[in-house]
Structure 1
Amino acid sequence: MIIGYARVSSTGQDHSLQIVRLQAAGAEKVYQEKQSGLDRDRPELAKALEFAREGDVLVITKLDRLARSAAHLHQIVETLDRKGVGFRVLDDASLDTTTRTGKLVFGILASIAEFETALRKERQMEGIAKAKAEGKTGGRPKTVDEERIRTLKGEGLTVPQIVKETGISRAAVYRALSE
């Protein structure tokens, strides 16, 4: 069975053209939703992946309709592959895991995605190491003058009075006093 998946990013957009193209490609069942691709919770995509059985093919019109990133695409196609389900993109004939060439192309894309992830992580770790070497610990700068809070407490003010005097939260006052 050919299963279609159509998605647009916002409620003002229309996915009827995607649906027509998917049906013309032989999709007997089409899952559709109007939701951002960045949204992790896409119920119709989850239903489509759950519905797909061995021998089925999941078809989309464009690659960006399915995944947020190359890594996410790889994760989805890996799930389909474990179930024995093929994957095809109408606008990119080279992305068709039902063919040897399509599997090769997808494998290359997956390798590139993995490489990009490793590079990104390496750069991030280098940046963190550099910041630590410069004495930067990350996070935003402190806005609470802990010394002033301790001074006010030493002068006999209560926590509610310190909160009123400084305009900071009760929790921040207690945190400053406990350090």
Structure 2
Amino acid sequence: MIIGYARVSSTGQDHSSQTERLQAAGAEKVFQEKQSGLDRERPELARALEFAREGDVLIITKLDRLARSAAHLHEIVETLDKKGVGFKVLDDATLDTTTRTGKLVFGILASIAEFETALRKERQMEGIARAKAEGRTGGRPKTVDEDRIRAMKEEGLTVPQIVKETGISRAAVYRALGS
């Protein structure tokens, strides 16, 4: 069975042209949703992946209708592959895991995605090391002047008075006094 997946990003858009193209390409069942590609939770995509059985083929019109990144695409296609389900992109004939060439192209794409992930992680680790060397430990900068709060407490102010004067929460005052 050929299964189609159509997605548009916002409620103002219409996926009828995608649906028509998918049906023209032989899709017997089309899952469609209006959801941002950045959303991790896409219920219709999940239903399409669950619905697919061994020997089926999932088709989409464009690659950006399915995945947010090469790594995300690889994750989805790996899920399909484990189930024995093929994958095709109508606008990119080279992305067709039902052919040897398509599998090769997808393997190259997956390798590039893995390489990009490794580079991103390496740059992140370099940034963390540089920040540590500069004495920055990460996290949000403190907005509470703990020395001032302790000084106010030593002057005899109560916690409710400190809260009122500084405008910070009671919990933040107690944290400052405890540290």
1:143 match? 143
Equivalent residue letter for 2:86: G
**Deviations 1:117-152 (CA, angstroms, capped at 9, x unpaired):** 000000000001001101112223222111111111
2:95 match? 95
- In the alignment, structure 2 segments of 5+ residues that lack a partner are none
Task: Give the Å deviation of 1:112.
Answer: 0.2
Q: Secondary structure at the match of 2:140?
A: coil
**Deviations 1:12-67 (CA, angstroms, capped at 9, x unpaired):** 00110000000000000000000000001100000000000000000000000000
Q: What percent identity do the matched residue pairs reach?
A: 89
Aligned-partner Cα distance in 1 for 2:173–2:48? 52
- In the alignment, structure 1 segments of 5+ residues that lack a partner are none
Superposition RMSD in Å: 0.6
Q: Secondary structure at the match of 2:87?
A: strand
Larger deviation, residues 151-160 vs 109-118: 151-160
Q: Does 1:162 align with 2:162?
A: yes
**Deviations 1:92-133 (CA, angstroms, capped at 9, x unpaired):** 000000000000000000000000000000000000100110
Task: Give the Å deviation of 1:172.
Answer: 0.8
Note the 1:71-110 alignment, pairs <5 A: 71-110=71-110
Q: Secondary structure at the match of 1:160?
A: helix
1:20 match? 20
* Segments ≥4 residues shifted beyond 4 Å: none
- Return the TM-score normalized by structure 2: 0.98
Task: Give the Å deviation of 1:158.
Answer: 1.1
Q: Secondary structure at the match of 1:6?
A: strand
Q: Secondary structure at the match of 2:19?
A: helix
Would you say how many aligned residue pairs link Structure 1 and Structure 2? 179
